[in-house]
Amino acid sequence: MHGLMMNMPLNISSLIRHADRYHGDTEIVSRLVEGGIHRYTYHDAHRRSRQLANALGALGVKPTDRIGTLAWNGHRHFEIYYASSGSGAVCHTINPRLFPEQVVYIVNHADDRCVFFDLTFLPLVEKLAPHCPGVKNWVVMTDKAHMPESSLPLMCYEDLVNAHSDDYEWPDIDENAASSLCYTSGTTGNPKGVLYSHRSTILHAYGACMPDALNLSARDVVLPVVPMFHVNAWGLPYSAPLVGAKLVFPGAQLDGASLTALFDTEKVTCSAGVPTIWLGLLQHMEANGLRFGSLNRTVIGGSACPPAMIRTFEDRYGVQVLHAWGMTEMSPLGTVNTFKNRHLVWPKEQRDALQNKQGRVIFGVDLKIVDDDGKELPRDGKAFGDLLVRGPWICREYFKGEGGNPLRDGWFPTGDVATLDEDGIMQITDRSKDVIKSGGEWISSIDLENAAVAHPSVAEAAVVGVFHPKWDERPLLLVVKKPGAELTREEMLKFFEGRVAKWWIPDDVVFVDSLPHTATGKLLKTKIRDDFKNHKLPGA
Ligand code: AMP
């Protein structure tokens, strides 16, 4: 016997329709690439998304065609999200920080029909275009006054939108149909496409809003620093309209001064980004003696958030840190660090230690850890093993079957090594490729990096395993000092005493001016390992 409830497909267009109808006067504010601030409402965004949907139709875009974007966080990018997915096409956000050859590969692999791009990326597009014959239209996301000179036949976004009426009915789409596409920024091999569906996107958007997740509401002002090309800005362009939160898009200016200015003028309550972004912002705050006004929480994820950063946000600035974990293949949210009642009465030190973990699993995601033979390990907070996930917003196969079947007995292997406890609180020990294997035991590079950045002179740290004739590998620490700070190798190594097990203490320290990052802001461990593979450890 079937239930007798309406069978309405979960469609992305319903988010913008809802936001228009019930939060129509709520603002969307964008810092423009052309300069200045753009301000309009959900009502306007819905109208222009419908105009753009008509424009896509006029360009000959058909359901399931891929629409590429090379763009910062802004209102036009938001409109493309809704016009493309809402009309049945697939919104394909491309990470412009990848090497041009990788972008060419991605555009061609995805068969992008049109590519929309911000002015910033014209030089990149001019390089790509000759190698991407399948792209029929290159559209500059700007107005006529700012259209650039180019040898390419470029279209102007505003002209395109303005040439079409807003008389458009969003079609009913099979909820399992593809809605958007995002390539993983793999550190080896070609990027692989994760193809989200309308259903997975809506369920994830619901999950993300929950009180023990990002706790979003109509009273929030959300500023996603995380780019819309990095797992759809962690779903915020969907979750914000779902609850009617005001959105603030920072455009291309992600430096501390530009962000704090927006936080203040727009009364931002909630933000989200990777640790490297917050590093710059906190340095700016400290150097200028600034405080956060309305910001009450910030989501930090994408790579391990150093405990020192959590403490600075919470203890110095009174901003709650929601330490979160996920991945492109998970839309991305898997865990968010929020406390249960019984944690609230713990002594501060114990609560702080708990908060350093990647967080508690949210409904919709199932987690387990397994040993090398695939045997499930206990949820005791101590055993650690390969972390596997499953759920309705987790990838079951990559676009075009790339890489074969990724699943293990129906579970997606994350490539992370973690512990899990009976509350579902997960802690990443390391990426399985990054753990340091010393004399048959494992050393967590994340734990060592976290310990190092707790030193007041350290801005950023990376730890990699380096060959050792006796132990196979031993940890090497690379340190970027804070501007003007003094620190010696001996002082640094001494700092680890009592903070980590003695045999974990790195064998050597190298001071560097900067560390390499991936296109999504993670430490580029492959490059660091490569650069230091011949480093001779003292005593080795
Ligand atoms: P991406 O698909 O680019 O978002 O990368 C996903 C990977 O980033 C995960 O598998 C983790 O290795 C890492 N990651 C994401 N969030 C965290 C976190 N809070 N702590 C540690 N690693 C993280």
Residue nearest to atom 9 of ligand 1 (CA): 327
Q: 190 falls in which pLDDT band (50, 70, 90)? A: confident
Among 149-163, 333-347, 424-438, the least confident range: 424-438
Query: How many angstroms separate the CA atoms of 220 and 255, rounded?
Result: 23
Quote the mean pLDDT of the chain.
Answer: 95
Q: 539 falls in which pLDDT band (50, 70, 90)? A: confident
% of the chain exceeding 70 in pLDDT = 99
Asked whether the predicted pLDDT for residue 55 surpasses 90, the reply is: yes
Cβ(13) to ligand 1 under 6 A? no
Ligand 1 geometric centre to CA of 293 (Å) = 29
11-250: CATH number: 3.40.50.12780
69 is a catalytic site residue = no
Asked whether the predicted pLDDT for residue 334 surpasses 90, the reply is: yes
Mean pLDDT, to the nearest integer, of 430-438?
87
Q: What is the pLDDT of residues 277-324, one digit of tens each?
A: 999 999 999 999 999 999 999 999 998 999 999 999 999 999 999 999
- Choose, from 79, 175, 329, 473, the residue flagged as catalytic: 329
Strands 246-249 and 193-197: unpaired
% of the chain exceeding 90 in pLDDT = 91
- Our mutation pick for probing the ligand 1 site, out of 299, 309, 428, 526, counting the most ligand atoms within 8 A of Cβ, is 428
Query: What pLDDT score does 188 carry?
Result: 61
Query: How many angstroms separate the CA atoms of 175 and 214, rounded?
Result: 24
Cβ(356) to ligand 1 under 6 A? no
| pTM as predicted | 0.92
- Choose, from 442, 481, 526, 527, the residue flagged as catalytic: 442
Mean pLDDT, to the nearest integer, of 183-212?
91
Beta strands in 124-197 (DSSP E): 137-140, 154-156, 178-183, 193-197
Ligand 1 geometric centre to CA of 491 (Å) = 31
Whether 11-250 and 434-531 share one fold: the answer is: no
Among 81-95, 185-199, 242-256, the least confident range: 185-199
**Following DSSP, what letter does each residue of 364-378 receive, concatenated?**
T-EEEEE-TTSPBPP
Is the CB of residue 207 less than 8 Å from the CB of residue 362? Answer: yes
Q: What is the pLDDT of residues 465-502, one digit of tens each?
A: 999 988 889 999 999 999 999 999 999 999 999 999 89
62 is a catalytic site residue = no
329 is a catalytic site residue = yes
Asked whether the predicted pLDDT for residue 185 surpasses 70, the reply is: no
Q: Is 123 helix (H, G, I), strand (E, B) or coil?
A: helix
Q: 147 falls in which pLDDT band (50, 70, 90)? A: very high
Cβ(359) to ligand 1 under 6 A? no
Q: 408 falls in which pLDDT band (50, 70, 90)? A: very high
Q: Which residues are bridge partners to 180 per DSSP?
A: 91, 196
Query: What pLDDT score does 31 carry?
Result: 98
Is the CB of residue 364 less than 8 Å from the CB of residue 160? Answer: no
Return the ∠ at Cα 453 (arms to 385 and 97), rounded to 5°: 75
Cβ(358) to ligand 1 under 6 A? yes
Please report the atom of ligand 1 found closest to the CA of residue 415. 10
Strands 425-431 and 359-361: antiparallel
Tokens of 232: 């759809």
Mean pLDDT, to the nearest integer, of 362-382?
95
* DSSP code for 352: H
CATH homologous superfamily of domain 434-531? ANL, C-terminal domain (3.30.300.30)
Query: How many angstroms separate the CA atoms of 258 and 251, rounded?
Result: 10
Q: Domain locations in the chain?
A: 11-250, 434-531
Burial class (CB in 10 A: 0-12, 13-18, 19+), 504: buried
Is the CB of residue 308 less than 8 Å from the CB of residue 316? Answer: no
Query: What pLDDT score does 111 carry?
Result: 98
**Greater model confidence, 191 or 117:** 117
Cβ(328) to ligand 1 under 6 A? yes
Straight-line distance from the first to the last Cα atom of the chain, in angstroms, rounded to the nearest whole number: 71
For 155, other C-beta atoms within 10 Å of its C-beta total: 16
- Choose, from 382, 433, 437, 494, the residue flagged as catalytic: 437
Query: What pLDDT score does 521 carry?
Result: 86
- Our mutation pick for probing the ligand 1 site, out of 187, 300, 327, 358, counting the most ligand atoms within 8 A of Cβ, is 327
Please report the atom of ligand 1 found closest to the CA of residue 329. 2
- Choose, from 184, 201, 269, 328, the residue flagged as catalytic: 184
Mean pLDDT, to the nearest integer, of 342-354?
97
Cβ(428) to ligand 1 under 6 A? yes
Query: What pLDDT score does 442 carry?
Result: 83
